[in-house]
Amino acid sequence: MIPVCVPTLGEEERQNVADCVERSWISARGEYVTEFEDQFSGYCNREYGISTTSGTTALHLALEAIGVGEGDEVIIPTLTNVACAFAVRYCGADPVLVDSDPETWCMDPEKLEAAISDRTAAIMPVHLYGHPVDMDPILELAAEHDLRVIEDAAEAHGAEYRGQRAGGIGDVGCFSFYANKLITTGEGGMVVTDDEAVAERAEHLKDLAYSQSERYIHDAVGFNYRMTNLQAAVGVAQVNKLDRFVEMRRANADAYNQRLAAIEGIRTPPEETWAKSNYWMYAISVEDSFPVDREELITELSAQGIETRRFFAPMHEQPVFNREKRFEGEHHPVAERASQRGLYLPSTSHLSMAEIDDVCAAIEAIARP
């Protein structure tokens, strides 16, 4: 089986973890946590990095740190991981949905202004599948309406927008280090920002809001979102390899493109002139002119030992929100179409050219039976 994505790990990760075990620094205190926060925030050209337990908790922590609460609204794309909407709900706020850009599948800036109300507190653009959102018009609208911008860069480590690294553009950036991301700590996440007040608030809340004056006194409702030293030890080794991993993914995408771009009915991943995608996932769309639909393609590839994944399901189609009648009657046609037709192919950084050839040959055979 050629898996969709597995982590690329090496001797450095093993040595760092062994060092933690040998010195008994395996919990949330230890030098690797600070080193990882400093290295990764520096990579994003941010002043502060606050490590967390996951990308989801990074989003929640960022929203809490900027003051989002009951009665507020946060604008998110409907085509995204459900963690975005959940993080907004954890704050007692309401997610407001925007359709996708037809070229990038990211949040469509042209549809954003209509979603702004007097309850809007923040905008959460998502750099979907490693391709950056068109940030300039979003930042302009945010400035005009005095809104905060939280970048969900969970899938966009090392991706760039007009020369700026994803996560280093809005007020706050949030990352995931789940096992299938460009770099991993197994589970884990990080909030990055240049705003000292936001950083201090996030750091305070992630550690159960302990008082600075007395250990077991708490001045807010906090969370246990602490990354362990073991996880950070893996992250320290990984972040030093991030640029190489980005180039590996881009080389894989080039190899896929050379074979698949000529196949009628297969839409290869976008990359706008102002963007540098990290191709977190090599995401394709199966169009009407392809001989089989997406579900049949998934089944046929699986029979040949090739694992795939469908695109995210839009938030307005999620049963959890339908039961609440939260997005009742909403229709976001671009996101719906992408969700119904999209899938991603094996995308591991160290994917071999032989494996890419096998995947492409299988799709070519289905396209030309």
Kindly report, residue by residue over 72-118, the tens digit of the pLDDT: 999 999 999 999 999 999 999 999 999 999 999 999 999 999 999 99
Mean of pLDDT over the chain? 97
Q: Quick one: DSSP state of residue 44?
A: T
Three-state SS string across 77-114, please? ECCCCCHHHHHHHHCCCEEEEECECCCCCCECHHHCHH
pLDDT interval class at 29 (50, 70, 90)? confident
Residue 281 has a pLDDT of 98
Has residue 39 got a pLDDT over 80? yes
pLDDT interval class at 178 (50, 70, 90)? very high
Structure tokens at 87: 């993080």
Residue 161 has a pLDDT of 98
- Around Cβ 174, how many Cβ atoms within 10 Å? 32
Using DSSP's 3-state secondary structure scheme, residue 281 falls into coil
pLDDT interval class at 212 (50, 70, 90)? confident
Q: Distance between CA atoms of 261 and 263, rounded to whole angstroms?
A: 6
Residue 215 has a pLDDT of 81
Domain boundaries, the chain: 11-99+106-239, 242-367
Average pLDDT over residues 340-369: 97
Residue 347 has a pLDDT of 98
CB contact at 8 A, 39 and 212: no
Has residue 369 got a pLDDT over 80? no
Q: Distance between CA atoms of 361 and 142, rounded to whole angstroms?
A: 46
Closest CA to 75 of 132, 129, 113: 113
Residue 125 has a pLDDT of 98
Helix (H) or strand (E) holding 284: strand 282-286
Per DSSP, the chain holds a count of helices (H) and strands (E) of 12, 14
Q: Could you tell me which CATH number the domain at 11-99+106-239 has?
A: 3.40.640.10
Q: Could you tell me which CATH number the domain at 242-367 has?
A: 3.90.1150.10
Q: Distance between CA atoms of 12 and 343, rounded to whole angstroms?
A: 33
pTM over the 0.95 mark: yes
Beta bridge partners of 207: 224
Closest CA to 157 of 240, 34, 35, 33: 240
CB contact at 8 A, 77 and 107: yes
